[in-house]
Amino acid sequence: MSSTLYNEIINEHNLRPYHKQKLENANYTLEGVNPSCGDEITLELFIEDGIIKDAAYEGSGCAISQASADIMAEMVIGKTLDEATHLSNLFLKMIKEGVSEEELEELDEAGILQSVSHMPARVKCAVLGWRTMKELIEPLKDNN
Amino acid sequence: MRELDDKVREVFPIIKNNDIAYLDNGATTQKPECVLNAVKKYYNEENANPMRGIYELSVAATDAYENAREAAAEFINAGDASEIVFTRNASESVNLIAYSYGMSQVNEGDEIIVSTAEHHSNLLPWKHVAEVKKAKVVFYDPEPAGEFDIDKLSALLSDKTKIVAITQVSNVIGRINDIKAISKLVHEKGAVLVVDGAQAIAHIRVNVKDLGADFYVFSGHKMYAPMGIGVMYGRKELLEKMPPFLFGGEMIESVTKERTTYAEVPHKFEAGTVNVGGAVGLHAAMDFIKQYGFEQIVARENMLTSVALDGMREMPYVDIIGGDMVCNHHGIVAFRVEGVHPHDVAQVFADAGVCVRAGHHCAEPLHRYLAQFAGTRINSSTRMSIAMYNTVSEVERFLDVLSSIRGLMGL
Ligand SMILES: Cc1ncc(COP(=O)(O)O)c(C=O)c1O
């Protein structure tokens, strides 16, 4: 038995995150918590003309929750709200029921968290950032 | 007396048949064959609804159940078997005391003292009683290293104190509390003492009379018995004046449309068909423990704990909660690894076949309280907990993994 979850990519995003910081010009903020582990993140987005121009988060928690949020922030910058929602749905699908080859490719770096789908205790950690983002942007889409 | 050594593993099927190091005994223990066989034998040969039938099988079931009660009374040195009430687990036992004794004896303005080290099971029922009765829960904080200062309890106790609830052994720091000294103080104020024995019962000899506990609770599943059977010990004098908690069959003497007369203790508190199979399993588990005796069990568990602590002391990035002295741990060692979240720590252990627990261990107030001294925001930890069947090589396997974690996490 060997550790499959903690590879270099996860460790890198956890130890040296690119987007774990305060976002000065953020116009949307939402806090997400995972009560079972006590992971918490505050997601900050700068959204203009229906596009996520910048994303960042702050918080504390296990490597899975923090790395997943960092990967997500990296992926959604420059995306429209619809595209971001689509990615979030895909990610949740990957964890909950599994995805096709093509869908996995679409998820790009986030696909490395696929193995979490077999780890019920870690699911909530992996989806924390994605769930929070989805919650944040869902109501905005209705307004447009 | 049977000698306690590594051979004891042979009688635990899960332990024998898996290449894992099971070090989550504080959560639940594995079950020896004699317990499994006793349950099977009961259902194969003696099963019937106890207390109800006058035929032979029902008498056999009743005897099996009542014999288990006698055994439990003897195991903790209760004065009488009628002081043993069977429940599902420690949590239900505390709820029974809270709903019955608490709701009937606590009044507006009264106080319930609860230690900050409590498992939620010995905290939330008291918060509920306090809320309903407009009483107050007063927290008794431990010192930063985990021990309780008895003088601080004196200062908290007053004429308003009706109940004091405290654990005998903490499920996080493993520290044993001086229940005898505490009960003296509590009784001087005329309050009653509720002791949570969930983490003590399989690891030290318990004598409720000597401790001076008014109530003492524990779960069978943490002492090699099946899940779903637990004990609430209460002093008879208290049990007799307490109202029932659950209502239904088997807990009455007579019922007319107008009037109900309740059965004698302990049956007053055991509504409905009881868990005879579980009680029989608990009986077998107690016999199993007695075959080895606490002298050997304590010696072996302390030896294993000291191997763990010696190894952990060598790792400067490991912070042991509750200090590194064996006598303060009772087989429970919770810790933090610098730079690695407890859930990641437990994950690395899991991937290496070592079963440990991560989280706040249902003791959030304690973790928050301890975090302030440790200067950390992380209010959780990883816990390894030992039982009589663990071995030195399992603890060494635990230490090997522990020493590799920071590297695996890129630190
Ligand atoms: C100190 C303590 N009290 C109470 C409990 C609750 O036990 P149970 O879940 O069996 O009711 C536990 C077990 O987790 C415990 O460690």
| pLDDT recorded at residue B255 | 80
Q: Which of residues 360-379 of B touch A (CB under 8 A)?
A: 360, 377-379
Model confidence, pTM = 0.91
| pLDDT recorded at residue B309 | 97
What structural domains does chain A harbor? 8-139 (3.90.1010.10)
* Separation between Cα atoms, residue B93 and residue B269, nearest integer Å: 10
| pLDDT recorded at residue B372 | 79
| pLDDT recorded at residue A54 | 97
Cβ < 6 A, ligand 1 pocket:
B 26, 89-91, 119, 121-122, 167, 171, 196, 198-199, 219, 362
pLDDT tens track for B101-116: 999 999 999 999 999 9
Residue B13, preceding bond cis, omega within 30 degrees?
Answer: no
| pLDDT recorded at residue A120 | 85
| pLDDT recorded at residue A2 | 45
Q: Does B344 touch chain A if contact means CB atoms closer than 8 Å? A: yes
- Least Cα distance to B51 among B282, B264, B285 occurs for B264
- What does the pLDDT profile of chain A (144 residues) look like in tens digits? 345 688 899 999 999 999 999 999 999 999 999 877 778 899 999 999 999 999 999 998 999 999 999 999 999 999 999 999 999 999 999 999 999 999 999 999 999 999 899 888 889 999 999 999 999 999 987 665
pLDDT band (50, 70, 90) for residue B379 = confident
Chain B partners of A39 at a C-beta cutoff of 8 Å?
Answer: 343
What structural domains does chain B harbor? 6-30+293-408 (3.90.1150.10), 36-289 (3.40.640.10)
Q: Is the pLDDT of residue B305 over 90?
A: yes
Q: Is the pLDDT of residue B276 over 90?
A: yes
Q: Is the separation of the CB atoms in B330 and B169 below 8 Å?
A: yes
Number of Cβ atoms within 10 Å of the Cβ of B228: 18
Q: Tell me whether residues A11 and B380 touch, CB distance under 8 A.
A: no
Q: Is the pLDDT of residue B87 over 50?
A: yes
Q: Does B410 touch chain A if contact means CB atoms closer than 8 Å? A: yes
Which helix H or strand E contains B216, and what residues bound it?
A: strand B215-219
Helix (H, G, I), strand (E, B) or coil at B98: helix
**Annotated active-site residue in B34, B327, B355, B362:** B362
| pLDDT recorded at residue A141 | 78
